[in-house]
Chains A and B, each alone.
Chain A
């Protein structure tokens, strides 16, 4: 149970795929022009990630060491095709907004990286929850970037106008340069928060030592 909770904490906060590990960046930059696009992309990736993790963990004994990456690529390409066709059938407007980035989930560093670094060395349950944790972390990250960019670039969130009329939109944030800069700042904030936390922990340890002395 503790292991499962740790997978969620790692995936969402401590090792958030976008802000801490900096993997899966390319959709995070390209499709997060609006909050809804970010959310949809996050969910699509998370689904592929969870299933790929489970399959990679189940097949870890069968796949030879040096064929791992090619095998995972084929697995994730198959899963991506399924998600691609489902989105095409049931969510056509979002599907056309995401465009080429839905099939690109197949080679996402996030999916391959987790299968290679975690799932092939762990049991099925932990791999499943690692996929869920990382997937939710990715959804949170993409939605957050999407909200910030949509808010500042067009003054709305999830398509609803929230800014006052006098708000001057920062149109650059709707394009690629804006995404790089927004992610850089969130990343820096994440670093700051993590280092503050680490500092607090160290300070606590120090205090305890002093008391003991």
Chain B
């Protein structure tokens, strides 16, 4: 049992990394991962929202929605769960790290519109995970997300003064970097 959960965590964090191989939530790349500090902070904030809200969503889906045959309401219910969780986490960040909130507060809602959070909950449902496996998958995905965003911001910081051709500056350079990182992560599929 524990071995299975461990495998789920490894698989969601590395092999099926949400950003680079499932490519859910890639919007965060081009918008947030600009410098190391913001990216680390936001990566952790999204990961926290992601882990908590997917876990709650899994519980709600398995214990309430599927018993009442209301599966088709999953999108709306999950969105509401995510909204509540992210509002709570925004308050916690405001209390605990006021300086960071000043800087990144306006991005908190961007984490909600980040597909990664809803995506994780939906993937768990699609794969018919039970509650425990869903929680493990949520934790694994959150770790994978935070790691990739942090590494990616690092790569961007090192390449930002590189001599790109004029038309490749901005989004295309970011996407190319992401593509090369995705090829690197593709190597993890040997574990699958």
Residues of A at under 8 Å CB distance from B?
22-26, 29-30, 69-70, 73-74, 77-78, 80-81, 84-85, 99-100, 103-104, 106-109, 112-113, 172, 175-181, 183-185, 187-189, 191-192, 195
Contact = CB atoms under 8 A, between A and B. Distances in A.
Nearest to B127: A100
Given A103-B122, A183-B175, A74 B80 contact: yes
Given A26-B27, A176-B23, A99 B126 contact: yes
B72 A73 contact: no
Given A25-B27, A25-B30, A26-B25, A80 B115 contact: no
Interface residues of B, number: 48
Nearest to A99: B126
Interface stretch (B7-15, B59-67, B94-102, B162-170): B162-170
Contacts of A175: 21, 182, 186
Contact of A181 (B80, B126, B170, B175): B175
A198 B87 CA distance: 43
Contacts of A188: 165, 167-168, 172
Contacts of A70: 83
B17 to A, nearest CB: 9
B36 interface: no
A23 B115 CA distance: 11
B38 interface: no
Given A184-B175, A188-B167, A191-B172, A81 B75 contact: yes
Given A103-B122, A185-B172, A69 B112 contact: yes
Interface string B130-156: 000000000000000000000000000
Contacts, number: 134
Given A74-B79, A112-B113, A195-B167, 5 more contacts: A73-B83, A100-B119, A175-B186, A179-B23, A191-B170
Contacts of B88: none
A69 B113 contact: yes
A15 to B, nearest CB: 13
Contact of A177 (B112, B119, B165, B186): B186
Given A69-B109, A81-B73, A100 B123 contact: yes
Given A100-B123, A103-B118, A180 B79 contact: no
A191 B173 CA distance: 12
Contacts of A74: 76, 79-80
A107 B113 contact: yes
Contacts of A85: 72
Nearest to B173: A184
Given A103-B74, A103-B118, A180-B175, A26 B113 contact: no
Contact of A176 (B22, B73, B109): B22
Contacts of B109: 69
B112 A104 contact: no
A78 B30 CA distance: 28
B79 A107 contact: yes
6 contacts: A73-B113, A81-B73, A103-B122, A107-B82, A177-B183, A183-B175
A32 to B, nearest CB: 10
A162 B175 CA distance: 29
B23 A107 contact: no
The residue among A25, A179, A183 with the most chain B CB atoms within 10 A of its own CB is A25
Interface in B1-46: 20-27, 29-30
Interface string B174-189: 1110111011001000
B115 A184 contact: no
A180 B176 contact: yes
Contact of B23 (A30, A99, A195): A30
B171 A104 contact: no
